[in-house]
Structure formats: structure tokens, C-alpha cells
A and B are shown apart, each in its own frame.
Chain A
Amino acid sequence: MEKNNVHIDRNEVVIHVDNVSKSFGSLHVLRDVDVKLFKGENLVVLGRSGTGKSVLIKLISGLLTPDKGHVRVLGETVNELDERALRTLRQRIGFSFQNSALYDSMTVRENLEFPLVRNKRNLSRAEINKEVEEVLEGVGLSQAINQMPSELSGGQRKRIGIARTLILRPDIMLYDEPTAGLDPITCLDINTLINEVQERFNTSSIIITHDLACAKMVGDRMVMLLDGKFERQGTFKEIFDTDDARVKSFYDYNFIV
């Protein structure tokens, strides 16, 4: 599927993960990782489970701090910000969690209102309602507004999770395994939604996945994490045009097995 209306500005770096290393005890997850995300771009991070893909976006959002190196997001060094500045920066970053992380004691409406009413306190009730309805319509789930998260399917939960991040109109979107655990048709819907978000809001996104169909459909550029390092970067074709057995087996498993 071809993408339209995507404007990638390769002169503007919105995220720079600058020689970052991260370990948990004796386990070295990321080793001197260096990657840039450009304005308007969808960057896919590929890799097997446990290779540190999710750690990377948690470092970007400030949920984890690097042992070495710097993470620069929208001109700010994340690991040097105080709590208040980090909170302000986070309003410009949308984070879609693997399991959606919807607040299960709240309805869909309350889930969407939660970040809005706490970050934009001057909005009137009518404006809040309008924003919620608009963003829900954008993900095609207007009818679910009063439902509880437990009443939704996996795909619907993913969409609501994305809607909740979009309500603050972020400049950057971070997707953690957006298609994990979904059937192929729902995967296609989510991938289409990711591309729509990029086109409509001109967001720059990092998509963490091991689903190559998703990577091929949404990614403008890809990087592959192998043994804690970005060993390969480029387009889908460039990444897999190699004799490296680790890369080939990853491809074969996705498309043949």
C-alpha cells in the first residue's frame, strides 16, 4: 500500500539516541546504540523478543534512564530534565503500549479525557466532549464511547489506546508492538491507522515490532537490533538483502513458516 501526503524532513532530527547503553544487572540490553528519527518519518525497529526494542522507547519517553549516552527528543536531553520539564515534554510524545494499558476502572470516554483534562485545564466541558468525539471518530470507534475496556476486543483496545495518545496531538508517536496478538485483518486495520496518523497529523513515529508485514507497510526506514546493537539500517529490501543467518532466519520465519 502506497503512502500519500507524507512529508519527511531529513534536515530536522526529532529524536537522537546518541551512543546509548543500558544494562539490567549483568544483562547488557543495549550497547552503544545510535539512531536518529527525522521529522515526519515512520522508523521501524525490528528485532527478536528480548533484544531491547521496548527498552529503547522507554528510554526515549524517560521511563528508563540510560547507563551511558544521551537521548535527545525535540531538542531536549531527556535524561537531564527535571520532573516538571519531563512531564511537559511527554505531552508532545504519544506512547501506544503493547497491551494498550487502558485504565480498566474507567470508561472509554474517561480514558480519553484523563490526559486531556489534566494537561489542558482551561478547556470547557463542551470542548473536551468535542475533542473526545473527534478522536474516537478518527479511530472509527465512536460507538464504544461509554463502554468499559473489558468489553472491547483486542483490536478495539489498541485503537482506543492510540486514540488516547492522539488526543494531546503529539509530535512524536511511539508504538510498542502495535500488531502483537491480533489477527491478520485487524493487523491490517492497525497498520492503516498508523499510516493515517502519520499523514493526518504529520507525526514522526517509532514502531517497535517483529511483524515484518507491519514493518513493510508502515515503515519509511528500518533498523534491526541484533545482540544489543543496530546492525542493519535502511529500507525493507536493504535490511534483508544479506547473507547474515540471523537476519535471514528472521525473514524466513515471518514469511515462510
Chain B
Amino acid sequence: MGSKIEKLLIEFARIHRFMMSFLREAVSPPYEFKEIIRQCYEIGWKSFPLISLTGFIVGFVFTKQSRPSLEDFGATSMLPALISIAIVRALAPLVTALIASGKVGSQIGAELSSMNVTEQIDAMEVSGTNPTKFLVSTRIVATTLMIPILCFYVAGIGLIGGYLSIVGKDDLSMLAFFTQVFETIAAKDVFAMVIRAVVFGFTIGFASSYVGYFSTKGTEGVGKAANSAVVSSMFLVFVEELLIVQLLALLN
């Protein structure tokens, strides 16, 4: 029991040191702009096909499933308002974060772990360069920037999916649909969505980099790091979602 607590404390100390190291390297020049752009491309642009499909399906299916409940009250005209609130307040950031945890988290975890196993991180270290700045800071900054952008995109695609689900049954123009959507969404909802996405993006980048960077040696470690990156990112995203919801409720 004592040794378990000791291990846990050591782990917390290491996470704290890793965080401090990231913060120091992220803000101090020289900056690795070229690598940040490359990571934004890898994390953001290459996630677009998967994110597009997932966002569309979520919007379409959610609308389809919500219709019967509203029909019971004769309130199907309220569907655009319901969809917009659900997507902007909860679904867009959460779906984006979960998809990114799977795709981006596993990629970062496996890549850094593989570099660790093949001593590439040590090679950077001994050549007088800073692996935290080049490998970790760039990835965390890229996920923190790209997840909010992807989140806006998912919200848009999800709303289009919702609209297409509605026009399958009702006669509703796109203009009327989006007018109702934008009348329902308040600025604070969009603000909350951005905050969520920034927090989730940072978490995915940080957790995945951490498990990859400190993975145990060996090829087995690469698989474990990829797996652990996904699991820990998803777990933390859910915990943060719970905390943010409580916090926003308090603020409201």
C-alpha cells in the first residue's frame, strides 16, 4: 500500500515537471513555427474526413431519434432549436474530442513512444537540442489550436446532418432552419463550446505526449503507449466535461 502511494506521488511529481517543462518551452523563444504548422496539418487537416463523417452522422441520427419525442407533444417545429442547443452546447466539442482522442491521441502516443524506444529522443537530447520544445510543445500547441477549429466544423456539419434529417419528413427551407438555429444559440453557448474545445485539445495533446514520452522501452511499450494515450485522453475528456458542465451551471 505504502509503495503504491509512493509510486502515485512520484507519477504526480513527474506530470507536474512535464507540465512546467512544456509551459517554459512553449512560451520561450526560439519557436518551432514550422513544426507547429506541420503538426496542425497532421492533426487538423488529416482528421477532416473522419470528423466530417462522424459529425454528419451524429447530427442526422440525433435529429432522427429526437423527432418521436417532440412529435408526441406536436412540437416538431422546435427540432432546429433542440438540435442547435444539443450540438453547440454538448455534442460538437465532445464528439470532436472523442474522435481526436482516438485518431490524434493514438498517433502522438505511438510516435513519441517509438522515438523513445529507438533512442531518437535521447539523440535529440545529446545533440544539445531540446526534445520537449520540438516534440512535445509543438504537438500540444497544435492540438489546442486545431480541436476548436475542428469543433466549429463538426457543429456546422452536424447541423447540416440535422437539416437533411428534417427535410426528409418536413417541408423546411434551409434559411428557415438556420434562422431558428441562430436565434436559439446565444453568444455564451459559443463561448462555452470554444472553452470546452480548447481544454479538450490541450488535454489530448498533453496526455498523449506524456504517455508516449515516458513509455517503457520495447515494442510492447509502443502499443501500450498508443492504447494508454487514447484511454487516458477519453477518460480525462469525460471528467472535464462533467466539471465544465457543473461550472457553467454555477455561472449561469
Q: Which residues of A contact B (CB under 8 A)?
A: 61-63, 87-88, 90-91, 93, 95, 97-99, 101-104, 114-115, 118-119, 121, 164-165, 168
Q: How far is the CA of A95 from the CA of B115 in the complex (A)?
A: 16
19 contacts between A and B (CB under 8 A): A61-B126, A90-B125, A90-B126, A90-B127, A93-B126, A95-B122, A97-B119, A97-B123, A98-B119, A101-B122, A103-B115, A103-B124, A114-B129, A118-B30, A118-B130, A121-B30, A164-B127, A168-B127, A168-B128
Nearest CB of chain B from residue A66's CB, rounded to whole Å: 17
**How many A-B contacts are there with CB distance less than 8 Å?**
59
B118 in contact (CB, < 8 A): yes
Cβ-defined partner of A104 (8 Å) among B118, B126, B127, B128: B118
Chain B residue at minimal CB-CB distance from A57: B126
Residues on A with C-beta less than 8 A from B126 are: 61-63, 90, 93, 95
Q: Is B219 an interface residue (CB 8 A)?
A: no
Given contacts A101-B123, A103-B123, A121-B30, contact A90 B128 (CB under 8 A): yes
- Beta-carbon contact of B123 and A119 below 8 Å: no
Tell me the B117-146 residues at the A interface (CB within 8 Å). Answer: 118-120, 122-130, 134
**Which residues of chain B from 138 to 158 have a CB within 8 Å of any chain A CB?**
none
- Could you tell me the distance between the alpha carbons of A118 and B129 in the complex, rounded to whole angstroms? 6
On chain B, the residues within 8 Å of A101 by CB distance are 118-120, 122-123
Are A99 and B128 touching (Cβ within 8 A)?
A: no
Q: How far is the CA of A97 from the CA of B127 in the complex (A)?
A: 12
Interface size on B, residues (CB 8 A): 15
> A165 contacts which chain B residues (CB < 8 A)?
127
Q: Which residue of A has the minimal Cβ distance to B38? A: A105
Let me know if A115 and B118 touch, CB within 8 A: no
- Assuming the A-B contacts A95-B123, A121-B30, are A87 and B128 also in contact, with contact meaning beta carbons closer than 8 angstroms in the complex? yes
Measured CB to CB, the residues of B under 8 A from A are: 30, 115, 118-120, 122-130, 134
Min C-beta distance of B212 to chain A, whole Å? 14
In the assembled complex, the CB of A17 is this many whole angstroms from the nearest CB of chain B, namely 17
User: Which residues of B have CB within 8 Å of A99?
Assistant: 118-119
10 closest residue pairs by CB, A with B? A115-B127, A101-B123, A91-B128, A101-B119, A95-B126, A90-B128, A118-B129, A61-B126, A87-B128, A97-B119
A115 and B129 in contact (CB under 8 A), knowing A103-B120, A104-B118, A121-B30? yes
- A202–B141 alpha-carbon span in the complex (Å): 43
Check A115 against B128 for contact (C-beta < 8 Å).
yes
- Bound Cα distance A92, B238 (Å): 47
State how many angstroms separate the Cβ of A150 from the closest Cβ of chain B.
12
With the chains together, A101 CA to B115 CA distance in Å? Answer: 8
From B118, B120, B128, give the contact of A119 (CB < 8 A): B128
In the complex, besides A91-B128, A99-B119, A119-B129, 10 extra interface pairs with C-beta distance below 8 angstroms are: A62-B126, A95-B122, A95-B123, A97-B123, A101-B120, A103-B120, A104-B118, A114-B127, A114-B129, A118-B130
Most buried by A among B122, B127, B129: B127
**Chain B nearest Cβ from A248, distance in angstroms:** 33
A165 to chain B, nearest CB (A): 7
Residues of chain A contacted by B134 (CB below 8 angstroms): 118
Chain A residues whose C-beta falls within 8 Å of the C-beta of B30 in the assembled complex: 118, 121
